[in-house]
Structure 1
Amino acid sequence: MELARPEFVPDSSLSRTEMEALQTDIADAGVFTDDLGSTFGQPPVVAGVDQAFDGEQATSAVVVMQGTEVIERTHATEPTEIPYIPGLLSFREGGAILAAFERVEQKPDVVLVDGSGRIHFREAGLATHIGVTLDVPTVGVAKNLLCGQPRESLSEPLPAGERVPIEADEDVTAPDGTVIGYAVQTRQYDSGSRHINPLYVSPGHRVSAETAADVVARHATEYKLPEPTRLADAYADELTS
């Protein structure tokens, strides 16, 4: 895959102020409505992306699936030149992800990224940064809520299949009350003695919040993570073990 917007390639040498300004530009270029193309209803080609780390090296693994079949796997390793800073994850991990996508031959209909999309202080999380730079539909699939406010309390376990809107609040540049993603409960234990936390799903680029949640739910199997990102997670661990 080729870069569509090379001016947005993450540059870890930028100052924090410059990084945040670039994210504002990326959010302005992002599309948070559905633009998935006419082939999406067939089984779509879905790529899952996840990272693993070995010292100061980040390995990004991409697994491309159509239906239940893996049709391509690729990866790339790049140095992590800055520490983890909440809200600036793409400047730490984005280089490895983009390098891996340069090796992807089958362009996906949608990409599931391990990280946030619009659920981000400036509406430009890792999934948005990657999606806009490649101009490919992307969905952020995060294990923790970076910002925003659930419309309903998440203090009690959600049943499998339930989803709760995440709304923008004063920490997010979107107008208050804007639905910027969903807490999606892909599976849950039957026993009340333990529970599984939801995933925090948000549009990255060219996908609405509702469709982002639908895509993740559709690709969930018996595991918490949707299958493309679960396999990418396993592949990344395999590469760095």
Structure 2
Amino acid sequence: MTRYLLAAEELVAKAESYEGMRAGIADLGAVLDAPSYRCQPQGQAAWRDEHSEKSVAWLPKAASLLVLAMHHPRDQPRLDWFDRGNTAGNRRMQEVLESLAAWLLPAHRIHAQPLPYQPARGGIFLKDAAVLAGLGVMGQNNLFLHPQWGPRLRLRALLIQERLPAGERLRDFEPCRSCDQPCLSACSSGALKTGRYRRPPCAQRLERDRAHPIDSGQGGASGDPVLVTDWCRACELACPVGRY
């Protein structure tokens, strides 16, 4: 077994030792050549980004990614509630990525770097990366679909300086082929009414969510209620793929 194959296998196993996590390796060059980088929409207003994560410069000569998927079950909506510049789910995944990078260097003499969520700040298009890492497929509703969890998950990435063996894309997993597509009717914004995902109606719905925060049930330091953004998950929760 080569050094890099051993590192890849142990890194994935280490990542999946955390509860509710799955992981895979993707080739960075393949991700940068994937559809999201070649088909970025032109002429659309930029998404108003309130994430608190800082921009990063990539490690020199980076060649691989660990793609981390965290289960987000329907009965844990708090994982996706946005407050203080991030979500609880994102914060948890960042902690895991930092611990993996801290383990990888002494264990295999390989440098790694947790990436922010947003591509504009040095992140990566995560759904493409997850497909190339062999974690799932893209659905016709623009959701990433995992065989066990369906779309009920969140993604992050760890940039790796060495070229580790990449996972294989899933074959014979085409959940949308025989689906009656309840996601289409679940979307009240019309983002899926043509049978293909359209970003503007979805973005408008998310802006409405942002403009109408909900009470988290927790009190702040001053005793005032803590308000959070509860992002729409209608299509995600309507999807029958996966058991959760």
TM-score bracket for the superposition, by shorter chain length: under 0.3
Larger radius of gyration: 2
TM-score, with structure 2 as normaliser: 0.26
User: Per residue, is there more strand in 1 or in 2?
Assistant: 1
